[in-house]
Amino acid sequence: MSATAPLSPPSLIPPRPSVGLTVYGCGPDEAALFRELAPRYGVVPALVGAPLAIVGDAVLPVPGNRSVSVSHTSEVTAPMLRALKRAGVEHVATRSIGVDHIDAVAARELGIAVTNAAYAPDGVADFTLMLILMAVRHAAHAIGATTRRDLRLGGRRDAELRDLTVGVVGVGRIGAAVIERLRGFGCRILTHDPRDGARGSEERVGLAELLRASDVVTLHVPLTDATRHLIGREELAVMPPGAVLVNTARGGLVDTVALLGALESGRLGGAALDVVEGEDAGDANPYLGLLRALPNTIITPHTAYFTEAALRDTVEATLVMAVELAR
């Protein structure tokens, strides 16, 4: 009998190297998900409840990781980015779709990668439809009357969405999800997107034509230098009398001074805003009190994205990107 060859020792698979990630402004629900999901991706998260801040030239606390994560409420300025660079940071991930709160020019000059976290559009799309319906059916007035124990019907009857034209500005993932929901109501849908190659099979028109023809205009474009105050005095002036503006994207898309004038004059029928300019200032925001005082305006606290599913998507996207950039 021939000698049996000795068995080779089992292959040793080296463990995947861990990736460090400092998560600033991390709330309790986010922290729980980071702790649950991070081991699956080989990420060791340092969870910091306070937002990113610097004192002098130093980042507090010092991250000690190449990747950091911030929330959409944290403004990341050029001095902050320089302090992060000195601390060895090469990647800033925002736990949001929008990146307008990060100084992109400074990041590019410093060689710091900036990434966002795309989450399923359903939560924002659902919320947008809710705001559209509330605005069209004058829900703020009805709820206010009920709060005053006035159960009498108002003097005017509301329109039905099927009889209206809705203009969707921005047909990315969220805009497309809004359009999908609108189809079920049977309304006419117009679309416009300032970006090349935007998707969508509905009637695509220029912005001016969309504004002139739409009873409801809903905004779903990112905030950039090109889209800041996309809706200003001239744009509001061409909207039909009594039209409604809905914004669940970014407050800076709308010139709030012009919007206040259109609402106060009664030319614009109403506005439903989940975002407003300067919202991070809270009660110090000069526009917030003026908008809240108007009976034809609905204000919500940037909550359209605030769902459990979106949170999980955001945390996973943040972890995946940290791993990708560490390779």
Within this chain, domains 19-119+308-326 and 122-299 share the same CATH topology: yes
Q: Which of 30, 235, 277, 279 is catalytic?
A: 279
Q: Are 48 and 34 in contact (CB under 8 A)?
A: no
Q: Which of 73-87, 93-107, 187-201, 304-318 has the lowest mean pLDDT?
A: 187-201
Mean of the per-residue pLDDT values of the chain = 89
Q: Is 279 a catalytic residue?
A: yes
Burial of 252 (0-12, 13-18, 19+ CB in 10 A): buried
Sign of CA dihedral 71, 74, 76, 80: negative
C-alpha distances in angstroms, 237 versus 22, 208, 240, 266, 324? 47, 10, 8, 12, 47
**Tens of pLDDT, residues 217-274:** 999 999 999 999 999 999 999 999 999 999 999 999 999 999 999 999 999 999 999 9
- In single-letter form, the type of residue at position 310 comes to A
Nearest CA to 193 among 162, 160, 225, 227?
227
Q: Where are the domains of the chain?
A: 19-119+308-326, 122-299
Per-residue confidence (pLDDT) for residue 13, from 0 to 100: 41
Percent residues over pLDDT 70 in the chain: 91
Percent residues over pLDDT 90 in the chain: 73
Q: Is 302 a catalytic residue?
A: yes
Paired residues of 247 in beta bridges = 219, 273
Q: Read off the tokens for 153.
A: 């019907």
**Tens of pLDDT, residues 103-162:** 999 999 999 999 999 999 999 999 999 999 999 998 887 777 777 787 777 777 889 999
Per-residue confidence (pLDDT) for residue 137, from 0 to 100: 92
Band of pLDDT at residue 17, cut at 50, 70 and 90: low
Distant-in-sequence, close-in-space partners of 290: CB < 8 Å, separation ≥ 6: 260
Cα angle value 16/21/22 (rounded, 5°): 160
Is the model's pTM score more than 0.75?
A: yes
Q: Which of 212, 267, 302, 312 is catalytic?
A: 302
Q: Read off the tokens for 234.
A: 């001239």
Per-residue confidence (pLDDT) for residue 11, from 0 to 100: 46
Residue 306: pLDDT over 90: yes
Residue 194: pLDDT over 50: yes
CATH architecture of the domain covering 19-119+308-326: 3-Layer(aba) Sandwich (3.40)
Give me the CATH code for the 122-299 domain, please: 3.40.50.720
Q: Can you give the length of the chain in residues?
A: 327
Q: Read off the tokens for 191.
A: 């679309």
Distance CA 104, CA 113 (A): 9
Distance of CA 198 to the CA centre of its chain: 18
Residue 280: pLDDT over 90: no
C-alpha distances in angstroms, 254 versus 26, 178, 302? 29, 20, 15
Band of pLDDT at residue 196, cut at 50, 70 and 90: low
pLDDT top residue among 58 and 198: 58
**Tens of pLDDT, residues 76-96:** 999 999 999 999 999 999 999
Q: Are 235 and 222 in contact (CB under 8 A)?
A: no
Band of pLDDT at residue 201, cut at 50, 70 and 90: low
Alpha helices per DSSP H over the chain: 28-41, 78-86, 104-110, 122-136, 139-147, 173-183, 207-213, 233-238, 256-264, 288-292, 308-326
N-terminal to C-terminal alpha carbon distance within the chain: 51
Per-residue confidence (pLDDT) for residue 195, from 0 to 100: 76
| β-strand pairing of 58-60 with 53-55 | antiparallel
Per-residue confidence (pLDDT) for residue 92, from 0 to 100: 96
